[in-house]
Amino acid sequence: MPSKIEESAAVAVEKPNVPLKAKIEVGILGATGTVGQQFIALLDGHPWFRTTWLAASERSAGKRYGDLAWRLPSVTPAEAAGLSVDELRPGIGPKLVFSALDSSIAGQAEADFAAAGHIVLSNSRNHRMDPLVPLLIPEINPDHLGLLPAQRQKENRKGAIVTNPNCSTMFLSIALAALRKFQPKRVLVTTLQALSGAGYPGVASLDATANVIPFIDGEEEKIESETRKILGQLHGNGVAPHPMTLSATTTRVPVVNGHTEAISVEFEKPVTRDEVLAAFKNFSGEPQELKLPSAPPQPIIYLEGVNRPQPRLDVERDGGMVVHVGRLRVCPVLGYKFVILGHNTIRGAAGAAILNAELMAAKNLLA
């Protein structure tokens, strides 16, 4: 007899977007935070997954989820509202858990859940650069899931950890993946990151209002290292990082949702502006081939207007799952420059982990 998940995976590949007989149960670690609430919202009515277990800190444990403060524009989804918040207790919830835990706790907690047999799809930074943990973007490196057997063996864990990148890294990596065939050699990126990227309550209002803060602790290092791993080559039991050099400057700006990035790229290969533009417009990957439920039809949308992309006007397009690119022009220093925008808590966090889970379901890797 195939397991429930095996049946789900078969349906996922052969008849995408068809409701399953039985949805796969999922839990959420850190369900009360900025990303946790986005998980709850995105999973409400999901065709393959059903949220049945929530966990957070002892501050929230024992409370009814619907009685806690909800900070998204919608109302708290009814099914989640009726659940009671648990403590972080490995082995209690469903096999598949999404993690939106604060990084101060995520490292050990996620390892404990994986050891207890859970498949942990994490948003936190702690395990991203572990050589045997996939840092997954399904459009770019689905083959990096090939690290899982070696991870299980080395860590002696029945479950597994799969991560998605830092939010700014996500959008930069998708843009660079589209241009990978021109061999990016040197990349300069300056980010303008939304306040929701700092979690809740985040940056103090007196610091954030009508201001730009030119430092986000640890963010530049994450962009510079994670991007190279994501675009790197899987070999044996590891990933050889992409050889490009990156230099990042990160800033926090008074925007609610949506990270903007100004990027300049130098390529090894000579390339015309039309070729760069076509590469953005034609970029696609396995999520689009498989028609995964959260996959946007096109991962990159190029906006022609000289004043786009803008967070307030563009960030919600296609459910917040696309990377917007605009203002492609010659860079007199490096080659080409452009501006990108992505939704930090959706494509940059909860939506990314859900897309990872959908890919794993389609590949029968959740069993």
- Catalytic residue from among 118, 167, 242, 343: 167
Q: How far is the CB of 153 from ligand NAP (least distance, A)?
A: 27
Give the span between the Cα atoms of 363 and 122, in whole angstroms: 19
Q: In this structure, which amino acid lies at residue 3? A: S
Q: Where are the beta strands (DSSP E) in the chain?
A: 24-29, 49-55, 85-86, 96-99, 119-122, 160-163, 184-193, 233-235, 238-240, 245-252, 259-267, 300-303, 323-331, 335-342
φ, ψ of residue 331 to 5 degrees: the values are -105, 120
Cβ nearer to ligand NAP, comparing 165 with 299: 165
Collapsed DSSP state (helix, strand, coil) of residue 150: helix
30 binds ligand NAP per the rule CB under 6 A: yes
Residue 163 as a binder of ligand NAP (CB under 6 A): the answer is: no
Q: Which is nearer to ligand NAP, 164 or 264 (CB)?
A: 164
Which of the residues 218 through 247 are near ligand NAP (CB under 6 A)?
none
- Give CA separation, 141 vs 77, 96, 306, in Å: 33, 21, 32
Q: CA 317, CA 132: separation in Å to the nearest integer?
A: 34
Residue with tokens 């799809």: 121
Position 32 contacts ligand NAP (CB under 6 A): yes
We find the least distance from the C-beta atom of residue 93 to ligand NAP, in angstroms, to be 13
Measured distance CA(344)–CA(167) in Å, rounded: 5
Q: Compose the 251-270 pattern: x for residues touching ligand NAP by CB under 6 A, - for all others.
A: --------------------
**Amino acid sitting at position 256:** V
Peptide bond into 296 cis (omega under 30): no
Amino acid at 338: F
Nearest approach in angstroms of CB 29 to ligand NAP is 7
Nearer to ligand NAP, 35 or 292 (CB): 35
- CA-CA-CA-CA torsion for 176, 179, 185, 186, nearest 10 degrees? -50
* SS3 assignment, position 253: coil
Please check whether residue 79 is in contact with residue 51, taking contact to mean a CB–CB distance below 8 angstroms: yes
Q: Could you say which of 127, 259, 324, 343 is catalytic? A: 259
User: If binding is defined by CB under 6 A, does position 169 make contact with ligand NAP?
Assistant: no
Instruction: Please pick, from the candidates 3, 103, 153, 282, the single residue that binds ligand NAP as defined by CB under 6 A.
Output: 103
33 is a contact residue toward ligand NAP (CB under 6 A): yes
Asked if 57 interacts with ligand NAP (CB under 6 A), we say yes
Binding test (CB under 6 A) with ligand NAP, winner from 56, 83, 176, 216? 56
Region from 1-9, 95-103, 216-224, 232-240 binding ligand NAP, contact rule CB under 6 A = 95-103
Task: Examine residue 123 and tell whether it contacts ligand NAP (CB under 6 A).
Answer: yes
The sign of the torsion formed by the CA atoms of 257, 26, 105, 151 equals negative
**Beta carbon of residue 100, minimum distance to ligand NAP (angstroms, whole number):** 4
Tell the smallest beta-carbon distance from residue 311 to ligand NAP (Å): 13
- Find the part of the chain contacting ligand NAP (CB under 6 A) among 34-42, 46-54, 75-83, 171-179: 34-42
From first CA to last CA, the distance across the chain in angstroms is 13
Closest contact distance (angstroms) between CB of 253 and ligand NAP is: 14
Q: Is 144 a catalytic residue?
A: no
Number of Cβ within 10 Å of residue 271's Cβ equals: 17
Residue of the chain from 15, 59, 181, 273 that contacts ligand NAP (CB under 6 A): 59
Q: Residue 167 catalytic?
A: yes
Residues that bind ligand NAP (CB under 6 A): 30-36, 56-57, 59-60, 88, 100-103, 105-106, 123-125, 167, 196-197, 199-200, 344-345, 348-349
Tell me the catalytic residues: 167, 259
